[in-house]
A and B are shown apart, each in its own frame.
Chain A
Amino acid sequence: QQQVKQSPQSLIVQKGGISIINCAYENTAFDYFPWYQQFPGKGPALLIAIRPDVSEKKEGRFTISFNKSAKQFSLHIMDSQPGDSATYFCAANRGSTLGRLYFGRGTQLTVWP
């Protein structure tokens, strides 16, 4: 059973556009929601993370929006650049207890110049 559902599976965006990736979860015990960026042949790198006490977190061109009642969260990449082309994974866990992360299946983002 997929604890975190991610969409879309792939996304093509024009340079300068906004990339939006969505995730949904079922387990209300989750209280930590990170996003990871992975380039081909590399390990996932933490991009940005949010906890449910805030509805939005912004770091540079990357913003997480969090909707606790809907159990959804999304990543927005503003002014998308070709260098942003990578696979993005959302994840969740019960940050206060055991550390295992539950990952979405990933979104392959391609930004055309």
Chain B
Amino acid sequence: NAGVMQNPRHLVRRRGQEARLRCSPMKGHSHVYWYRQLPEEGLKFMVYLQKENIIDESGMPKERFSAEFPKEGPSILRIQQVVRGDSAAYFCASSPQGGGPADTQYFGPGTRLTVL
């Protein structure tokens, strides 16, 4: 049973370019979360999605960042016009439910974004 998959694992962009990060949840999971990890810091929640729905985007910067989880295909985190401060590790997690006693979030290996 494959775990959460993320690609690319490493992404280098120049300032002003777009970054597109992909996440395929575990089989049978319909809930996806995106977190950002800056050096020497914990993970910060960005957005929580279900298929075709954004449930909670309270952690997303208001500009340049967007996320989607279409009916078919992976979830995508898109960062437009990247700046150096966007350099971080971006992790995707999935869960079978959106909460509840038996729910657990499983994390992917992350995408390390470097903005030159």
Contacts and interface: CB of A to CB of B under 8 A. Distances in A.
A44 B43 contact: yes
Interface residues of B, number: 32
Interface string B20-50: 0000000000010101000011111100100
28 contacts: A34-B104, A41-B109, A43-B4, A43-B107, A43-B109, A43-B110, A44-B43, A45-B107, A46-B104, A46-B105, A46-B106, A89-B42, A93-B99, A94-B99, A95-B103, A96-B101, A98-B55, A98-B56, A98-B98, A99-B31, A100-B33, A100-B48, A100-B56, A100-B59, A101-B93, A102-B45, A106-B41, A106-B42
B107 A99 contact: no
A62 interface: no
Contacts of B59: 100
Nearest to B4: A43
B100 A95 contact: yes
Given A98-B99, A99-B33, A106-B41, A49 B104 contact: yes
B91 interface: yes
A36 interface: yes
A97 interface: yes
Contacts, number: 72
A100 to B, nearest CB: 4
Interface of A: 6, 34, 36, 41-46, 49, 51, 89, 93-106
A96 B44 contact: no
B114 interface: no
Contacts of B55: 98
B95 interface: yes
Contact of A99 (B41, B98, B108, B110): B98
